Structure 1
Amino acid sequence: MSNPEIAAASDARTPPVAVWQILEKLKGQDLLDWRLAEVKDRASIKERNLDIGIPFGWYPILLSSELQVGEVKPLRYFSQDLAIWRGEDGKVRMLDAYCKHLGAHMGHGGKVHGNLLECPFHAWRYDGDEAVVKDVPYARNIPPQVKRKCTRNWHITEANRFIWAWYHPQDEAPLFEVAVLPEASDPEWTDYEVHEWNVWGSLQNMAENGVDVAHFRFIHGTANVPLGELRWGDWGRGADVKAKMGTPWGEVDGCISYDTMGPGQSWTRFTGISETLLVACLAPVELDHVHVRFCFTQPKAQAEGERAGVAKAIIRDICKQFDQDKVVWDRQKFEPNPIICDGDGPIPQFRKYYARYYADQSAAAAE
C-alpha cells in the first residue's frame, strides 16, 4: 500500500476503526464483563473453518492457588468435561469427568478420599494415576472392566504458579516440557496481576497474529512493528525486538522478547521502561472458544517505587491491544488458502511451522 493510500485509510473524515468504536464505549466493569461474555451472533464452527482440531501441547487450566489439598473441581477444556483434584499428598490429578458406573459427573460433588477421587453418586473411588477403580465400598468385588484402565487420565504438571495439562487427541505422552520461568517464583517479583478473556475463535488464528505485522497500524493505531530476528525451535519459537523507547526520564534502549513453547504457553519479557514479564496462558475450551489469562509480574522495586505508574501503564496498554484483537478474533474465519501480500509478514512460514502441533496431518488447511 502506498503512503497516500495508508493516509487515506486513517483519514479523520473516515469512521474510526470498528474495534475502536466498540471499545470506546466500554469502561470499568462493563469492559471486564465484555471480555468474558459469550458472543451470541457468531457463525458456526463449520462456517468459519475452525473444525481443524485442537493442536497438541501443554495447556494451563488453573492457577495452582485455585486448587487446595482435598479439593475437587469440574472443568471444561478440549471439548471435554473433566474432574480435577488435589490429593492429600499435594499432587494434582485429573480424569474424564463421568463415572463408568452410572455416568455421574465426578467434578460436581465428588470427594477426595486420601489420593483417590470418590464419585458423589455411589462412592466409587478412582485412582488418578492408573485410571482404575480401586474401591467400591458397598460391593464385595470390583467389576473387572474397571480394575484395568477404564478412563482417560491426564498428564499434569505444575510450573510458574499454574497447573498444566497435556492434551493430545490420541492420548500420546508429552513430547516436550513446560518452560520454567524463574521470575514467576522469585520473591523479589510481584504476585501475578491476572487479566482474563474468553475469545470466541481458534488458537490458530490467534497465534498467527504474532507474525501479522500489517494489522498493527489498522487495529492498534501504531506503525508496523518489526518482527525482530525470529527463532524457530523444535517445539518453541520467539523473537527479540529492540527499539528506542521514550520515557519521562528520557529515551532508553528497550527490548520486547517473546517466546512460546507449544500452542498453550507464551511469555514476553519487556525491558527498558519498566521490566515486566507477561505469562500468556491460553487453553482451548471448544474449537471456537479459547480461555485466556494474562499474568503480569514485575520487580517489586519498580512496581511499588517511583515508577509504579509507568509499570501499571504498560499492563494497561498490553491489555488494550488484546481487547482490540479480540474484537476481530471473535468472528474471524480461518482461511485455508489466504491471499498474502508482501507486507503481511511470514504467515506461510508460520503456518508450515505451526502444523507440527496437529496430530492429524490430514488437517492440511492448517499447513
Structure 2
Amino acid sequence: MTATDDTLTTDARTPPVAVWQILEKLRGQDLVDWRLAEVTGRASVEERNLDTGIPFGWYPIDLSANLAVGEVKPLRYFAKDLAMWRGEDGEVRIVDAYCKHLGAHMGHGGKVNGNLLECPFHAWRYDGSEGVVKDIPYARAIPPQVKRKCIRTWHVVEVNRWIWAWYHPQDIDPLWEVAVLPEATDPDWTEYEIHEWNVWGSIQNMAENGVDFAHFKYIHGTANVPDGELRWGEWGRGADVKAKMGTPMGEVDGLISYDTMGPGQSWTRFTGISETLLVACLTPVDQDHVHARFCFTQPKAQAEGPMGRLAKGLIRDICKQFDQDKVVWDRQKFEPNPIICDGDGPIPQFRKFYSRFYAQD
C-alpha cells in the first residue's frame, strides 16, 4: 500500500509474508539508508515498459522553508536538470538549468541578483518569468537570440508549506489548481514529521497499488482485504474506507479517507487511533525513479497528550507499509495487458482514469 492514496487495514503491525525477509533486520539508520539508496542491477526502463513518459500535473518540489530569499538550488526532476531560486521579492522561480551562453549549470554556483538568476560562469542574468536574458554585465549589447524567450520557465505556486511546479511535456498552462489543505497551516496542528524514500519505479505503478486490493494480505500481512467507496472525478479521485485497526489496546474502528489531485498531489486523513493528515509528496526524477516524501501532521492536543504514543505508532505503521511496497516497486515491470482475476480490484477502471495524464502527440 502507498499511504498516498491507499488504506490501512486490520493491523499494519502484522509481519508481512512476502517481503519480511528483506526488511526484518533493517532498523534505525540502516532502514533510512535503505530507503534512499539506489537499487543496482535493476532492468532497464525499456525492459520494464516504463518508457511511456511522465504524467503531467502539479508536483511538489521542496518545502517552502527550505528555500531562503537569495538562495539558489539545483534540481533533478521530470528527467530534466533545473535551477530554482527565491528572489528578493520572496517569489520562487524555476528554469531549465543550462545557460544558453556556454552551457553552465546555473543551479551549481549561480546566485540571485535582485530577482534574476545570475549564471556562475559569465554572470548572464536570467528572468524567471519571461525566460530571457536581462543583463550581461561585461557586454555592450545582449544578443537578440536571448532577448526573446530562450529558456523554459516553470509555473510555480506555494501551497500547504510546499513549493509546487507544473509539469507538462508540451509546456501548456496548468489545467487545475493545487488543493489547499487547512490542517497543513493550522497552528493547532503539529509541524510536519517527514519521512523520505527513493523508489526505483514508475509513479503510475505506485498509484495503481491503491486499487490493488488483494496485495494487502500478501504484502502487508492483513487478515482481510479492505473495501471502500471509490470516487472518480475529472482530475482527482479518492475513497473512504472503514477499517478495523489494531492497537496495543485492541481493535478500534477507523476511517481512512484519501484523495488525489492529478498524479502528484495526494493526501490521506486518518481517524480512529489518532486524527492524522498525511501529505504525500511524490515527484518523478526520471521514468524509473520517484522521490517520495511523507509529511505527517496531527492535532497537538492528541500528538502531545496521553494518546501521543499511539499517534506516533500510527505514523510508524504507515511508513512500514510503504517500505513493504517499495520492495516490489523497485523492480516492478509495467504490464500493459495484465491478466486480472476476481478480487483484484478495479485496476482496469484505474488505468482508464490515469491515462488522461499522459499528453497525446
Number of the residue aligned with 1:240: 240
Q: 1:314 to 1:71 in 2, by over 3 A?
A: same
Number of the residue aligned with 1:278: 278
Q: 1:248 to 1:23 in 2, by over 3 A?
A: closer
Q: 1:41 to 1:17 in 2, by over 3 A?
A: farther
- What displacement does 1:25 show? 1.4
CA contact (8 A) 2:18 2:218 kept: no
Query: Which structure 2 residues correspond to residues 112-261 of structure 1 after superposition, within 5 A?
Result: 112-245=112-245, 247=247, 252-261=252-261
- What displacement does 1:225 show? 3.4
Worse-matched range after superposition: 217-226 or 95-104 = 217-226
Number of the residue aligned with 1:301: 301
Query: Which structure 2 residues correspond to residues 17-56 of structure 1 after superposition, within 5 A?
Result: 17-56=17-56
TM-score, normalised relative to structure 1: 0.92
* Cα deviation code 1:113-142 (max 9, x no counterpart): 000000000000000010000000011110
Q: 1:110 to 1:23 in 2, by over 3 A?
A: same
Counterpart of 2:266, as a letter, is S
Counterpart of 2:151, as a letter, is T
Task: State the aligned residue count.
Answer: 346
Q: 1:250 to 1:333 in 2, by over 3 A?
A: closer
CA contact (8 A) 2:45 2:287 kept: yes
Counterpart of 1:348, as a letter, is P
- In the alignment, structure 1 segments of 5+ residues that lack a partner are 1-15, 362-367
Identity level (%)? 83
CA contact (8 A) 1:98 1:105 kept: yes
Number of the residue aligned with 1:339: 339
Tell me the distance in 1 between the aligned counterparts of 2:75 and 2:171.
Answer: 18
Q: Which runs of 4+ in 1 moved over 2 A?
A: 223-227, 243-253
Tell me the distance in 2 between the aligned counterparts of 1:71 and 1:225.
Answer: 48
Tell me the distance in 1 between the aligned counterparts of 2:350 and 2:245.
Answer: 28
* Cα deviation code 1:291-324 (max 9, x no counterpart): 0000000000000000010000000000000000
Q: 1:234 to 1:305 in 2, by over 3 A?
A: same
CA contact (8 A) 1:228 1:241 kept: yes
Aligned-residue RMSD, C-alpha: 1.2
Counterpart of 2:212, as a letter, is D
Tell me the distance in 1 between the aligned counterparts of 2:246 and 2:334.
Answer: 37
SS of 1:45's equivalent? Answer: coil
* Cα deviation code 1:266-314 (max 9, x no counterpart): 1000011100000000000000000000000000000000001000000
CA contact (8 A) 1:58 1:178 kept: yes
| Higher RCO structure (Cα 8 Å, ≥6 apart) | 2
Counterpart of 2:210, as a letter, is G
* Residue 87 (1) aligns with residue 93 (2): no
- What displacement does 1:223 show? 3.1
Tell me the distance in 2 between the aligned counterparts of 1:276 and 1:335.
Answer: 34
Tell me the distance in 2 between the aligned counterparts of 1:108 and 1:185.
Answer: 32
Number of the residue aligned with 1:8: none
Tell me the distance in 2 between the aligned counterparts of 1:184 and 1:304.
Answer: 17
TM-score, normalised relative to structure 2: 0.94
SS of 2:19's equivalent? Answer: helix
* Residue 111 (1) aligns with residue 102 (2): no
Tell me the distance in 1 between the aligned counterparts of 2:147 and 2:38.
Answer: 41
CA contact (8 A) 1:211 1:227 kept: no
Tell me the distance in 2 between the aligned counterparts of 1:269 and 1:88.
Answer: 36
* Cα deviation code 1:251-271 (max 9, x no counterpart): 654210000000011100001
Tell me the distance in 2 between the aligned counterparts of 1:172 and 1:29.
Answer: 42
Tell me the distance in 1 between the aligned counterparts of 2:107 and 2:251.
Answer: 53
Tell me the distance in 1 between the aligned counterparts of 2:158 and 2:71.
Answer: 16
